[in-house]
Amino acid sequence: MDLQLFEYLQTYLTDRRKELFKRVLDRRTRHFTVVTEDVYQLHNTSAVMRTCDIFGIQDLHVVEELKGKRVDKEIAMGAQKWVSLHRYNSIAGCMKQLKQQGYQLIATTPHNDSTMLQEFDVSKKSAFFFGKESVGLSESVMEQADGFLKIPMFGFTESLNISVSAAIILQEVVTRMREEGVDWRLSSEEKLQIELEWTKRTIKNAEEIIKHYYDRKNS
């Protein structure tokens, strides 16, 4: 990371903006992350991204295995500036990468012998997988999941909209994560890298400014 570039770009931000970035970064986490599998209702993907931002989840993983990349149009609604979006065309590739990063894979489903939300162990680094409301998660996820999680329900209906499910689950696990002494904070290096990305996304014509900076530096 070019620290001099970072310091230069910071001069384009107000003190208030810089203080806001640091305050939000102190509350960000990668202890939990969220995966959506083949969710093509565009408003749902956008709502899940906003939910991640609200609850301090830094990364959203979007798997688009079946239909291509339709999510683009709806993603650009604000939260995309602050949440790191990771996209895959293979659920296998997504699961492999998350495993390598130390996550246990948790399939959210009202079926199977699932752990009730209030009983979930928040101390473990976890990736929560959400599928389409109509059919749920794929067999690949269900077969390779390290655990299953469900929201207590007491009516006739056995499914919730994905964005509602994500909000309920994240509110519960993030609250308990913060209360139970889990080591959930970002490292100093992670904070700095994310702050650089946020700074770039905040500055108008950032790429032109960066090019001018390097042209002048190398002249």
Q: Is residue 15 part of a domain?
A: no
- Check: CB of residue 34 under 8 Å from CB of residue 128: yes
Q: Is residue 55 part of a domain?
A: yes
Residue-level pLDDT at 155: 87
pLDDT classification of 19: cutoffs 50, 70, 90:
very high
Nearest to 116 by CA among 152, 146, 158, 161: 152
Q: Is residue 47 part of a domain?
A: yes
The answer, yes or no, to whether residue 87 has pLDDT greater than 60, is yes
What is the rounded CA–CA span in Å between residue 106 and residue 197? 29
Number of domains in the chain: 1
Averaged pLDDT, 27-40: 92
Residue-level pLDDT at 48: 92
The answer, yes or no, to whether residue 71 has pLDDT greater than 50, is no
Q: Is residue 10 part of a domain?
A: no
pLDDT classification of 40: cutoffs 50, 70, 90:
low
| Whole-Å CA distances, 194 to 41, 45, 199 | 28, 22, 8
Name the pTM for this structure: 0.90
Q: Is residue 5 part of a domain?
A: no
Q: Is residue 80 part of a domain?
A: yes
pLDDT classification of 219: cutoffs 50, 70, 90:
confident
The structure tokens listed for 52 are: 């991640």
- Check: CB of residue 140 under 8 Å from CB of residue 92: yes
Residue-level pLDDT at 153: 87
Residue-level pLDDT at 73: 46
| Whole-Å CA distances, 28 to 22, 149, 164, 177 | 10, 23, 21, 12
157 vs 180, higher pLDDT: 180
Q: Is residue 149 part of a domain?
A: yes
The answer, yes or no, to whether residue 76 has pLDDT greater than 70, is no
CATH of the domain at 93: 3.40.1280.10
69 vs 15, higher pLDDT: 15
* Three-point CA angle 96, 161, 73, nearest 5°: 70
The answer, yes or no, to whether residue 106 has pLDDT greater than 90, is yes
Task: Residue 111: give the domain boundaries.
Answer: 29-184
Burial 180-209 (b: 16+ CB within 10 A, else e): eebebbbeeeebeebbbebbbeebeeeeee
Q: What is the mean pLDDT of the chain?
A: 90
Q: Is residue 35 part of a domain?
A: yes
- Check: CB of residue 33 under 8 Å from CB of residue 59: yes
Q: pLDDT tens for residues 154-178?
A: 887 777 888 899 999 999 999 999 9
Q: pLDDT tens for residues 117-151?
A: 999 999 999 999 999 876 789 999 999 999 999 99
